[in-house]
Structures are given as C-alpha cells and as structure tokens.
Structure 1
Amino acid sequence: MNRTDLLQLIAHGENSRVEFKRDDVRPERLASELAALLNHEGGWLLLGVEDGGAVSGLTRPAERAEEWLMQLARDHIRPPVAPTWETVELDGGYLVGVVAAPANAPDKPYKSKQGSSWVTKIRVGTTTRDATREEEQRLYQQSGGLRYGLKPVLGTDVESLDARRIRDYLARVLGEADTPAQESEQWRRLLLNLELVTETSAGFLATVDGMLLFGRNNRRFVPQCGVRAVCYAGTDLAYATRADEEIKGALLPLGSLDGSLLETGLIERTLDFIRRNTEPSAHLQRGRRIDGSAYPDDVIRELVVNALVHRDYSITGTDVMLSIFSDRLEIQSPGTLPNSISVERLVAGSRYARNQTLVNVMRDYGYVDGRGMGIRLKVVPGMRAHNGTVPDFLEEQDRFTVRLWK
C-alpha cells in the first residue's frame, strides 16, 4: 500500500472493512478484530492510528511489531492465519503498520481466543461482536464446512415426506421399477441414502433438503421455503399492487407414469404467477402484429430455479422475493454468493452449488443442466436476443438480486 492510499483510508474513517488500533492493544482484542474482518469481506487493520484518525505511529520497531502480530495470529486465532504485513511512513516520521485481511478467506469461521474459549467474531459496520449460532452456521456454509440442507428438521419424521412424490421421482424420473414398502427399514435406508432423512437419537428425521423437495406442509417446518410474489402497477414500491401472493409447497411436481401432471410444484407455481402478471409484448413484422412474452420463458425459468436452488436457507424469516414492475422484473434471493464466487465470475460462467442435494435432484428432473452455466449461456444472451437489454446482477449484504428490463 502506498502513502496516498493509506491516507485515503484514514481520511474515510473506520467502517466495516477498516479498523484503527494503537499497537499496544491487548493481543486478544486485536485478534478478535482480525478474525471479524476475515469472517466478513476482508479489510485492513491500521496499527498506529487512533480511533478518531489521528496518527500516533508504531511504539515499537517495525520488525518487533511484525513478529508480535504473526505470533498473535498463530496463537490467538483458529485456524491460525498469516496476514499480510507492511509499514508505511507518514509525515513526521510516523510508521503505520498495515495488516491486510484477505477477502473470501477460505476457512471460515475464524475464532479468536477469549479467556479459555474460542469465539466466532463478526463485523457489523464499525462494531465487532460475537456471532449468533445462525451467523456462525452461515460462515461454515460459505466455506463448504457445513451443508445446511442436511440438518435434521425438528418435529418431523419419515411420514413428513410425501411418499407419492418420492415414488414418482424414483419410478418416472429415475426409472426404478421396484421400490421398498413405505413402512419398511429398506424404505428408510433409501431415504437416508438420498439425503432426504437423517438418523438421530430421536429416530429418522427429515432433512431440510428433504422437506424442501418432497415435504408435506413444509411451510410449517421450514418457514423460509416459499416465494413472496408481488406485482406493482408502476415502476416502484409506492405504486398500488396488482397481485400479492405467498407461493408455497414442495419444490417438485407430482406426475403419473403416463407423464400427466397431477400437482404442480413451487417452481411451476412461481412461473405461473409471472405469466399471469406480465403483459405480452408485441411488435410489427412486415406489417403483421407478432405477439410474444414480456420475458423469455427459458430466462425466467433459469432465474426462478437458481433463486430457489441456490439461496441460503440458513437465513430464516425471509422468502425468495419476486417483484414485477411495469418496466422490469426482479428476483431477490436470500444470501450472498458463496465463497470465491463474484458477480463477474458468475456471469463469465463459474459454477457453484450451495445446496448440492437440491442441485442433484433438480438435474434429474431437467430443471438444472449438467453444465451449470445458465447465467452465461441462457440468461444474458437470452435477454440480449429478446430486447437488447443486459440483466443487472446485484450482490448486497445477505441478498442477491437479478433484474430484467422489459
């Protein structure tokens, strides 16, 4: 970091990615700040800068300050880290130690030593605090250390899953002619192997993924499993709503062996809402009126499937949000992009799967293709061909939004 960049950081003050500290701070305190930055989006610890932004400089030689920091990062943070260290000299001969915490650190959650305990710290604005259990779970999930979808759902059992839908999946989709009797041990073992149930001290309980895919009354047990769909009369939230619906149910449809549809699933119900509440487009071609959909079906389908399959289900109390305006359509999915995936990499074709069981089953049904590059191969070129627009991809704190222009 050069002198100009450092002065700009100091001038802008502390924020969610910048923390000022004297270098005589207690090791436990500095470790908690560094761990919180690693658990957030990375950032900088500036040693030798007061809380108000005044530069006081390092109080010990730079080499000793570096050794102290590296020892602290090994002994007071789990897993141990080796942060980047450099010094920058400012006016008056003051040396500032710059500690860089990388974005997308791979081994979240990072814990700092607090007495005899190890505590997960997170950064909220300029404040560092203890993570809640749910926040800690999300950090594990971001690093691939926890598959939230495999968690048992309390209050459920094998009967909480719709056996009709599961048998339809096995017979019609996978082509398995013989399936075990529903009350048998073989049936429970089959569901266990499919990761639809898990075995606990309380018996076989449905997993989160099992309830999402095939659950009966899944809204009761996994309240964040639906879609909140709203259609507005104008271009912003201040306009009256034309339709407002809470769409719920199992993700997957129920079919018969002859291919007829008996019950729709959450994906198809969401697509139906969009079709009902978007006006068809029309243009003249050689003097003839040609009618078409407001948005390409394959683009809409890809985005709805992505939102439901890849959302962060550990974030409770919020559904996927579908908003239809007179000039655009927005799909907002709870959770940021997983570790190492940026918007640029997503558009370029990088693949990821936060909920692998959901992806596997959706691929069996044909909702997800084997390449996993729908944004690059379907959504972006589909909108360009449809009306010449480019979708907006917006990553914000705890949510990811895709916006299509009409």
Structure 2
Amino acid sequence: MKLYESETVELKEIYTSDLKKEIVAFANTYGGTIYIGVQDSGHIIGVDNADFVMQQISNSIRDSVRPDVSMFVNIGLLQEDKKFFIKVTVSQGTKKPYYLSDKGLKPTGVYVRSGTTSAPASEDAIRMMIKMADGDSFEENRSLVQELTFNKLEEELQKRDLEFTEVQMKNLGILSPDDIYTNMGLLVSDQCKHSIKFAVFQGIDKLVFRDRKEFTGSLFTQLTDAYRTIDFYNGTKATFHDLFRTDERDYPEDAVREALLNAIVHRDYSFSGSTFINLYSDRLEMISLGGLVSGLSLEAAMLGASQPRNEKLAALFYRMKLIEAYGTGISKIISCYKGLTVQPKFENVEGAFRVVLPNIHAKVLSAEEQKYLPVLRLFEKQKEITRSDVEEALGSGTTHAINILKEMLDKDLIRKVGNGRLTRYVQK
C-alpha cells in the first residue's frame, strides 16, 4: 500500500496537536483523509498505543474545533505488515467556517486546504463561508468577533427588569443554537464595529466645521451618546402668550428620538460605513446606509407600512420599549411638525435613507430673499460684518450694499450695532 500527499490526503508520522488544524482545513474545503503513522515518502511506520492516540484525536476534535465537526469525522484503525496506523476521514462540513476555538473566527483560527498544505483563510473567504452556510440574514450570521461583552446591554435590561441569561441570549438571537455569537450579538455588544459620526456645521452648508464626534460601542451606547449630544445642541426659544411662557426646542424632541431610532434599527449593517448625523443652522440630517428594504417604497413607508431589515434588533428595541410599534416612526415625525410652516423630508435612494428635520426657529428665505444669501454666509466665518464686507461679497458698489442692508434690517434678518464708522451688523 503506497500513499501520497495531495489536496485531499495528508500524511503524518506521529500525532501532534496541530492535527486539528488539518481537520479544520479539510472540513472547510472539500474533505480529505489524514493518515497517522505514515512518513512523507508514503512509507508506513505505524504508531505506538494506537487506541490512546485515537482517543486523543477524538478529544481534540470535541474540545478544540467549533462548530462541532465530530459528525463529519471518522477515525479508523488500519494494519499492514503488522503495523497499526490511523486513518482520519474528514467530510466537507455543512456549517462552515470551522475554526480553532482558542483562535476564533479569524485567519489565525480558520484554515482551508491549498494544494498539499493547510493555509489560513482570508477574512473575505471567512465572510463568504458564513454567508453560504448561514444565508443572507446579517443578524443571524456568525460574528467574526467572538470575544464579546455586554455591559451596556445588561445595564439597559436591568433598568427594565428584564433577564439576561444564556437562554434569553439565544431567544434574542445573540447566541446561535450551537453557542456561537451572531452578528446580532456583535451589534449589541460593547465591541460593536459600527459607529455614528456626528458633525455640526456653521451655516447651511459644509464649508465650516464647528464640532465633530464619533460614537462607538454597543448600539445602546451609541443611541444614548448621540441623543445627548443632539440635545445639547438643540436650542430652546421662549415665546409668550399673554403672561404664559412656553419653551420650544429647535427640533421637536420626539422627532429627533424617532429619527435616531429609525437610523439605528433599520440601517443595513452589512455595510461597514457609519451612520451620519449632520447639524446645520437650519436643519438636522440623519443618513443611514441601506435604504428601504427591497419591495418597500417610500410612499408605502410614509403610509405606515413596515418591513424591518433587522427583525431581531427591532424586536429587542420593541421589547425594551424604545419603539412602540413597527411602522410608526415616520408618521410620528410628521405629526411633530403638524401645523408648522416647515416640514420634515424623507429621501430614499439606492444604498441610503435620509431624514431631514427642519429647525422650526430658523428663518426660511423666500425665492425673492435668496439674494441675501451671500451676505448671510459672511456670518459663517465672522460674528459681525461691515458695509465693505457686503460690497465685497456682492461685488457691488456702496449704494447697492446700503440698500441690501436696509432691506435685511427691515426684514429682521440682521441687527445694526454702533453708529457712523463703527457701524457693524450681526445676524439675528
């Protein structure tokens, strides 16, 4: 009997703990056979204490490889010329990728067969194997990161008197039935790879940054941090009706909350990019990746139709009473602006969804008043302006600049400070 190494045959003189790497590689590729007690030349030298070695192999497979690959492995004892050697037959597994439990779902733990050697799989190859084995549901796919903690999630659950046991983790989809963390688990873990990027701009475009932040960690941490930061920048205007004072925020708090929850719960997390929140002087924008799920139009969504992309995540937020019912977010945002002159906007394009909340206290220029924009943009770089600044911005003479400034004063767009040569103008 002559044996040769190939893509599906591996020869080993003796048993070593590295054998599990070969088993993982065969299970992740097309299967194969490992002979123990056979030299690279194909010469059979046999093994001592074959029963003990077979038990070592069985224990190693059970303890060191995830998911359980034992049902795809057969260990047999062969004899030739009074020499005993071991044959380990590995079938192609159905729950790829298989990996070394102490290394995890990463190239150092996942191997594939390449020629006559077992090589680390690339991250792209690992993702492809997960998708082929687990299907297209991002939430249910196994996470590439398995070293996860859930401090923030446990804290939020405790506030609501909800349990967080292993059984609950499986019910919520955080753990798979074979005790492997899913992408759902990754999203709500403290190690979540996605983030929210927040930017504050001076004025109505992106010319001048005032502030920028990035929120990371569990989606619940990101939700809390993003809401608090928006709330910090959400100005308050006091109005009086007779003797009664009413404080009104620039952006209705319920609208901000619903838009933020929608951006977190319904975005497509198979994209690695961040969710964006942009705050301008006249509007708050939230841009989430993925757009509406296929088959759901913007018109249908505005009528209240709902098809959650992340069903398990939406169910968890619902259970934690962060969302009241599916499909109500957009209608709640619209109701917050009922009776106002400005209205929210919703835009769905391929790959992204944008919600625009207008600042209810921002001055909205009419078509006729658009001519004042060059002057108003001066305030994005300086607090006060002069007549000569206006002349330069408009490219006009003194008379035209004086007339424009007078019109803007009459329309209550600016305020005059000082007199004579010390005259300055500030934005209202």
Indicate if the aligned counterparts of 2:260 and 2:286 stay in contact, CA closer than 8 A. yes
TM-score, normalised with respect to structure 1? 0.52
Mapping of 1:259-270 within 5 angstroms? 265-270=221-226
Counterpart of 1:296 in structure 2: which amino acid?
P
* CA shift for structure 1 position 135: 12
- Counterpart check, 1:323 vs 2:313: no
Aligned with residue 195 of structure 2, among 216, 219, 226: 226
CA 1:284/1:164 → structure 2, altered by over 3 Å: closer, same or farther?
Answer: closer
Instruction: Please give the alpha-carbon distance, in whole angstroms, between the structure 2 residues aligned to 1:134 and 1:374.
Output: 36
- Counterpart check, 1:275 vs 2:212: no
Mapping of 1:101-250 within 5 angstroms? 146-157=136-147, 160-162=148-150, 165-166=153-154, 169=157, 172-173=159-160, 175-176=162-163, 187=166, 189-198=167-176, 204-213=179-188, 215-218=189-192, 222=193, 225-238=194-207, 240-250=208-218
Aligned to 1:384: 338
Where structure 1 has 5 or more consecutive residues not aligned to the other structure, the ranges are: 1-131, 181-186, 253-264
Instruction: Please give the alpha-carbon distance, in whole angstroms, between the structure 2 residues aligned to 1:272 and 1:278.
Output: 10
* CA shift for structure 1 position 242: 1.5
Extract structure 1 runs of 4+ deviating beyond 4 A. 132-137
Mapping of 1:332-347 within 5 angstroms? 332-347=287-302
Instruction: Please give the alpha-carbon distance, in whole angstroms, between the structure 2 residues aligned to 1:315 and 1:231.
Output: 24
| CA deviation map 1:167-201 (0-9, x unaligned) | 762x553545xx75xxxxxx3x542232102256x
Instruction: Please give the alpha-carbon distance, in whole angstroms, between the structure 2 residues aligned to 1:211 and 1:305.
Output: 18
* CA shift for structure 1 position 380: 0.5
Indicate if the aligned counterparts of 2:199 and 2:212 stay in contact, CA closer than 8 A. yes
User: In structure 1, the residue corresponding to 2:353 is in which secondary structure?
Assistant: strand
Instruction: Please give the alpha-carbon distance, in whole angstroms, between the structure 2 residues aligned to 1:331 and 1:290.
Output: 28
Indicate if the aligned counterparts of 1:173 and 1:364 stay in contact, CA closer than 8 A. no
Higher RCO (C-alpha 8 Å, min separation 6): 1
Instruction: Please give the alpha-carbon distance, in whole angstroms, between the structure 1 residues aligned to 2:127 and 2:144.
Output: 19
CA 1:167/1:269 → structure 2, altered by over 3 Å: closer, same or farther?
Answer: closer
Where structure 2 has 5 or more consecutive residues not aligned to the other structure, the ranges are: 1-123, 360-428
Instruction: Please give the alpha-carbon distance, in whole angstroms, between the structure 2 residues aligned to 1:206 and 1:283.
Output: 52
Aligned to 2:318: 363
Instruction: Please give the alpha-carbon distance, in whole angstroms, between the structure 1 residues aligned to 2:234 and 2:156.
Output: 32
| CA deviation map 1:10-67 (0-9, x unaligned) | xxxxxxxxxxxxxxxxxxxxxxxxxxxxxxxxxxxxxxxxxxxxxxxxxxxxxxxxxx
Instruction: Please give the alpha-carbon distance, in whole angstroms, between the structure 2 residues aligned to 1:136 and 1:285.
Output: 63
* CA shift for structure 1 position 381: 1.3
Instruction: Please give the alpha-carbon distance, in whole angstroms, between the structure 2 residues aligned to 1:393 and 1:163.
Output: 34
| CA deviation map 1:139-192 (0-9, x unaligned) | 99xxxx7321111111314xx1325733762x553545xx75xxxxxx3x5422
- Counterpart check, 1:348 vs 2:283: no
- Counterpart check, 1:375 vs 2:330: yes
CA 1:167/1:296 → structure 2, altered by over 3 Å: closer, same or farther?
Answer: closer
* CA shift for structure 1 position 247: 1.0
Counterpart of 2:174 in structure 1: which amino acid?
L
Instruction: Please give the alpha-carbon distance, in whole angstroms, between the structure 1 residues aligned to 2:246 and 2:269.
Output: 41
* CA shift for structure 1 position 234: 0.6
| Structure of higher CA gyration radius | 2
Instruction: Please give the alpha-carbon distance, in whole angstroms, between the structure 2 residues aligned to 1:401 and 1:380.
Output: 14
Instruction: Please give the alpha-carbon distance, in whole angstroms, between the structure 1 residues aligned to 2:162 and 2:243.
Output: 50
| CA deviation map 1:211-258 (0-9, x unaligned) | 222x1232xxx2xx21100011110011x2121000112123xxxxxx
TM-score, normalised with respect to structure 2? 0.50
Aligned with residue 393 of structure 1, among 337, 341, 346: 346
CA 1:299/1:156 → structure 2, altered by over 3 Å: closer, same or farther?
Answer: same
User: In structure 2, the residue corresponding to 1:329 is in which secondary structure?
Assistant: strand
Q: How many residues align?
A: 233
RMSD: 3.0
